[in-house]
């Protein structure tokens, strides 16, 4: 198998990008290529490393996370797609071999989500463990979604899931792809032995976080869930958000985004089967939460 690392960058972290690229290029025992997508960079922008295995694609306009990654996948030549952001890196040079073995042993394995570790040794963040029982990041398990910048997948699973929804810009685009991949018969696992290092950050650092979080949550349900499940899913999330956030500074943009999700075009509707919903339930996360 060839591993195609799709690295997304805005060109504003050259030191971190150098470390990120080297951690992929130095993987031992596997064939590697890097598709480096500059999301919103000038045409003369170039990779900080000169290596024949790196192909660079500057995009003058920031198309958002899903569109940037979709662009990279279209250019990738490998059997396995590995997503990596410019501020992350792999501490192990054996990750590529582990991924190659995992995908070779299980033809139904579609996506692997990695454990994310703070390089400063801080505690892991619960949001980086894509399951309900997130207290033990060292425990591997089957899951129903994945971390976009810390994941690997068969190109065939990516294509079966329809790629990432580009209108989402960021937030929940991985779940949209994950649900469709499960609907196509693929499995998703969280593998604690596959590790990516990433600085500890808060999702709320983005000014548009609450708006996109709510809008895309509605789009996710409208696009993918049978209506009885979808309405339950959204009702649960409204209740959880009110209980969790409480502050008007967070709730006001969240409900504005929630309304926007109903008023705007979500994209094509592809409801998953009830069988897929049952498989997600058996994996520990029914599609109502």
Give the pair of three-digit tokens for residue 85. Answer: 């952001």
**Closest listed residue to residue 46, CA positions, set 54, 60, 56:** 56
DSSP-assigned letters across all residues of the chain: -EEEEEEEE-S--HHHHHHHHHHHHT-SSSEEEEEEEEET--TT---SS--TTEEEEEESS---HHHHHHHHHHH--SSEEEEEETT-B-S-TTHHHHHHHHHHH-TTEEEEEEEEE-TT-PPPPGGGS-SS--S-TT--EE-S---TTEEEEEHHHHHHTT---GGG-SSSHHHHHHHHHHHTT-EEEEEEEEEEE-----GGGSTTHHHHHHHHHHHHHHHHS-HHHHHHHHHHHHHHHHHHH--HHHHHHHHHHHHHHHHS------PPPHHHHHHHHHTT--TT-
Give the pair of three-digit tokens for residue 115. Answer: 């454990």
Contact 228, 116 (CB under 8 A): no
- The pLDDT of residue 234 is 97
The domain segmentation of the chain, as residue ranges, is 2-201, 206-282
Which residues of the chain fall below pLDDT 50?
Answer: none
Cα–Cα distance, 163 to 70 (Å, whole number): 7
Q: What region does 157 belong to: left with phi over 0, alpha with psi -120 to 50, or beta?
A: alpha
Q: What is the pTM of this model?
A: 0.94
- The pLDDT of residue 135 is 85
**Closest listed residue to residue 90, CA positions, set 119, 113, 70:** 119
- The pLDDT of residue 202 is 66
Q: What region does 109 belong to: left with phi over 0, alpha with psi -120 to 50, or beta?
A: beta
Cα–Cα distance, 176 to 165 (Å, whole number): 7
**Closest listed residue to residue 177, CA positions, set 201, 196, 151:** 151
- The pLDDT of residue 36 is 97
Q: Which fold has domain 2-201?
A: Spore Coat Polysaccharide Biosynthesis Protein SpsA; Chain A (3.90.550)
């Amino acid at each position: 198998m060839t591993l195609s690392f799709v690295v997304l960058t805005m060109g504003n972290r050259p030191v971190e990008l150098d470390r990120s690229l080297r951690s992929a290029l130095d993987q031992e025992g596997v064939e590697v290529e890097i598709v480096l997508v500059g999301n919103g960079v000038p045409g003369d922008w170039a990779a900080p490393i000169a290596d024949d295995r790196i192909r660079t694609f500057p995009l003058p306009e920031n198309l958002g996370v899903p569109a940037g990654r979709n662009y990279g996948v279209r250019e990738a030549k490998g059997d396995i797609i590995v997503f990596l952001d410019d501020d992350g890196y792999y501490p192990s040079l054996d990750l590529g071999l582990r991924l190659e073995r995992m995908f070779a042993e299980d033809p139904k394995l579609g996506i692997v989500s990695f454990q994310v570790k703070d390089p400063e040794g801080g505690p892991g963040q619960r949001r980086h463990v894509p399951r309900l029982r997130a207290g033990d990041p060292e425990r591997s398990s089957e899951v129903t979604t994945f971390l976009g910048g810390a994941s690997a997948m068969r190109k065939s699973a990516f294509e079966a899931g329809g790629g990432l929804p580009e209108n989402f810009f960021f937030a929940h685009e991985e779940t949209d792809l994950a649900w469709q991949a499960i609907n196509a018969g693929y499995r998703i696992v969280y593998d604690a032995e596959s590790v990516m290092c990433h600085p500890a950050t808060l999702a709320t650092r983005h000014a548009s976080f609450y708006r996109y979080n709510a809008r895309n949550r509605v789009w996710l349900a409208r696009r993918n869930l049978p209506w009885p499940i979808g309405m339950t899913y959204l009702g649960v999330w409204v209740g959880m958000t009110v209980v969790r956030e409480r502050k008007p500074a967070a709730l006001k943009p969240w409900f504005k985004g929630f309304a926007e999700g109903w008023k705007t075009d979500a994209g094509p509707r592809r409801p998953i089967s009830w069988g897929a919903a049952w498989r997600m339930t058996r994996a520990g996360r029914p599609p109502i939460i």
